[in-house]
Every structure is written in C-alpha cells, then in structure tokens.
C-alpha cells in the first residue's frame, strides 16, 4: 500500500483517536457498555489497520514482540495480584 497516499494519511490520522477511544471504553466501562474485552478489540482493530495500510515490518517496529510479551506478562501479574489480594 505504498502508492495509496490518501489511505496512509487518513490511517495515520485515525489510529491515534481509535486507540484513545479504546482507552475511554476501558476506563468508563463501569458507567455503560464496555470494558476490557471491548477495549481490546478496538485496540487490536487499530493495530490491524496499521498493519494493513503500512506493512507488517512497520507494525513489528511499532509493536514489537518483546513489547507485546512484556504487556502480556504485566497483565498476568496484575491479574494474579488482584486475585491474591482480594481475600484479604
């Protein structure tokens, strides 16, 4: 998709607001519909859009495997921490 300048510019302008909307859905899920799953789907859609418009190598530079593994490990640690502290 290197020749489609309009798509690349629109995608670059839209990826940031899409990720911000995912954070909004995550943090305001208790006031209405939304939560972790919905926010994850929206965030993944932004990453898929980035990967489709640009390239897979650009997506790997943007979200490297090490970063994704670190975020996944931090999520598991948070899940275990909340689960172990809740009986207290």
Segments forming the whole domain that contains residue 48: 1-54
- C-beta contacts of 33-36 below 8 A and 24+ residues apart: none
Find, among 21, 49, 47, 18, the residue nearest to 34 by Cα.
Answer: 21
> Are 78 and 36 in a shared domain?
no
pLDDT, residue 1, reads 60
44: exposed, middle or buried (Cβ count in 10 Å: 0-12, 13-18, 19+): exposed
What percentage of the chain reaches a pLDDT higher than 70?
98
- Does residue 12 lie in a domain region? yes
> Are 68 and 47 in a shared domain?
no
- Does residue 59 lie in a domain region? no
pLDDT, residue 18, reads 95
- The residue among 61 and 10 whose pLDDT is bigger is 10
> Are 71 and 49 in a shared domain?
no
Q: What is the pLDDT of residues 41-69, one digit of tens each?
A: 999 999 899 888 888 887 888 778 888 88
Structural domain total, the chain: 2
The pair phi, psi for residue 10, each rounded to 5°, is -65, -40
> Are 11 and 50 in a shared domain?
yes
């Amino acid at each position: 998709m290197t020749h489609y300048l309009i798509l690349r510019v629109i995608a670059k302008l839209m990826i940031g607001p899409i990720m911000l909307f995912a954070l909004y859905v995550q943090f305001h899920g208790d006031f209405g519909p939304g939560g972790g799953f919905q926010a994850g789907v929206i965030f993944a859609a932004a990453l898929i859009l980035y990967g489709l418009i640009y390239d897979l190598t650009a997506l790997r530079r943007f979200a490297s495997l090490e970063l994704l593994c670190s975020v996944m490990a931090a999520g598991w640690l948070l899940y275990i921490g909340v689960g172990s502290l809740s009986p207290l």
